[in-house]
């Protein structure tokens, strides 16, 4: 797999700069200068590159509910209707999952998407099992459940329709304004204490967001989504994750704007660089912020015990050391001052009614 140089203008609308070889590749090729203008020729060829097109592949899955036993995550089950994400967030911790599909965590993660077309049928069967016990389902925890292809495929909407049918509580996380299209489903469930939505707003800086999260909604549009949801009576939280030293520097302003729009809960994490995310993020820094790339990585390593990443359950979300402590203090002081997290969003588990077989009605 070739890992060639691509100029910034040629990857407009994408987060990664290359199809970085995944960790299971037996062979990987790097561009290098052989003294005969190889790099310059490659860059010239890239000048003529056409915009990368998104390809959707369909998958029939055997299971939908993902289990979680990690002690640092609040939910124990999740649903992700899609693999890969067109939003192209360069920091996405889910990028390495494309390696299991023999695809690149770089540009393939953003352009070769997998849609779970039988998701509702399988979920109906899982919710109908005799031993199933309801607990909050988190939707879109790995890849965004409202990325652009949802407008056409409507897999997330079909999942919410089923959850509404069986009165099962859920929360979802998104960067997309497309969640507003499903307010007709979400608002009634929220009124019955069965739904909550969390909108991720990493920064209010539009230029930075365009580089960091190239195909996600603009920050001001996400704030409008928070307001729309709150006005419809949906409990709304804001995620200011991930925090990246010397990159996302307006946490307090984001929290203030989100509160003004109607969000009443908030959380954060620091940037995580597992597996292939680390080299991809370093490429991104060299393309967009070459003068401070070294300083940014030094602070990230400071929060990870001198490594690019440390997967320890106790610290992977918040990091360790002085810089991590400063971020924690900033977040806690800002949320306390503004008023966030004074009331916990509690969803009703008692309303759940197991579904019948597909197409089978109920007498009650």
- H-assigned helices in 234-288: 251-261, 277-288
pLDDT attached to residue 363: 44
Element housing 179 (H / E): none
pLDDT > 50? residue 364: no
pLDDT attached to residue 11: 63
pLDDT > 60? residue 30: no
Lowest mean pLDDT among 12-16, 60-64, 350-354: 12-16
* Nearest residue to 56 via CA among 111, 138, 14, 120: 111
pLDDT > 70? residue 274: yes
Q: Dump pLDDT digits (tens) for 284-331.
A: 999 999 999 999 999 999 999 999 999 999 999 999 999 999 999 999
Q: What is the mean pLDDT of residues 176-189?
A: 98
pLDDT attached to residue 28: 57
Q: Which residue has the higher pLDDT, 157 or 27?
A: 157
29 pLDDT band (50/70/90 cuts)?
A: low
pLDDT > 90? residue 33: no
pLDDT > 80? residue 187: yes
pLDDT > 80? residue 3: no
Q: What is the Cα 278 distance to its own chain's centre?
A: 16
All residues at 6 or more sequence positions from 326 whose CB lies less than 8 Å from its CB, including other chains: none
pLDDT > 50? residue 348: yes
Q: Across-strand partners of 3? A: 30
pLDDT attached to residue 21: 80
pLDDT attached to residue 47: 47
Output the average pLDDT for the chain: 90
Report residue 270 as tokens: 């620091």
Cβ atoms of 241 and 202 closer than 8 Å: yes
Lowest mean pLDDT among 5-14, 66-75, 166-175, 267-276: 5-14
Q: What is the mean pLDDT of residues 113-136?
A: 97
Q: Name the DSSP class of 270.
A: B
C-alpha triplet 280, 215, 198: angle, nearest 5°:
95
pLDDT > 60? residue 185: yes
Whole-angstrom Cα distance, residue 197 to residue 222? 12
pLDDT attached to residue 359: 46
Cβ atoms of 128 and 39 closer than 8 Å: no
pLDDT > 80? residue 31: no
């Amino acid at each position: 797999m070739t890992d060639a140089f691509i100029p910034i203008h040629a990857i407009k609308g994408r987060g990664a700069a290359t199809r970085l070889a995944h960790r299971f590749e037996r062979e990987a090729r790097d561009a290098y200068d052989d003294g005969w203008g190889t790099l310059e020729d490659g860059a010239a060829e890239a000048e003529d590159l056409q915009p990368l097109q998104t390809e959707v592949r369909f998958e029939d899955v055997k299971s939908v509910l993902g289990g979680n036993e990690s002690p640092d995550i609040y939910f124990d089950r999740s649903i992700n209707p899609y693999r890969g994400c067109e939003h192209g967030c360069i920091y996405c911790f889910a990028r390495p999952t494309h390696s299991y599909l023999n695809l690149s965590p770089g540009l393939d993660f953003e352009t070769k998407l997998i849609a779970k077309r039988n998701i509702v049928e399988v979920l109906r069967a899982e919710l109908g099992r005799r031993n199933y016990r309801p607990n909050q389902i988190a939707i879109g925890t790995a890849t965004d459940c409202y990325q652009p292809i949802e407008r056409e495929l409507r897999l997330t909407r079909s999942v919410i329709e089923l959850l509404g049918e069986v009165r099962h509580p859920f929360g979802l996380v998104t960067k997309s304004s497309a969640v507003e299209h499903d307010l007709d489903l979400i608002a009634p469930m929220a009124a019955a204490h069965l739904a909550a939505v969390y909108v991720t707003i990493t920064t209010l800086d539009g230029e930075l967001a365009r580089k960091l999260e190239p195909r996600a909604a603009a920050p001001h549009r996400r704030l409008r989504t928070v307001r729309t949801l709150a006005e419809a009576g949906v409990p709304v939280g804001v995620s200011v994750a991930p925090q990246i030293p010397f990159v996302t520097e307006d946490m307090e302003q984001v929290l203030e704007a989100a509160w003004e729009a109607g969000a009443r809960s908030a959380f954060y994490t620091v940037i995580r660089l597992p597996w292939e995310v680390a080299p991809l993020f370093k490429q991104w820094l060299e393309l967009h912020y070459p003068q401070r790339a070294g300083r940014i990585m030094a602070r990230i390593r400071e929060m990870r015990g001198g490594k690019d990443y440390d997967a320890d359950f106790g610290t992977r979300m918040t990091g360790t050391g002085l810089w991590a402590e400063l971020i924690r203090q900033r977040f806690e002081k800002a949320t306390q001052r503004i008023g966030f997290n004074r009331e916990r969003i509690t969803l009703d588990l008692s309303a759940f009614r197991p579904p019948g077989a597909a197409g089978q009605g109920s007498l009650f």
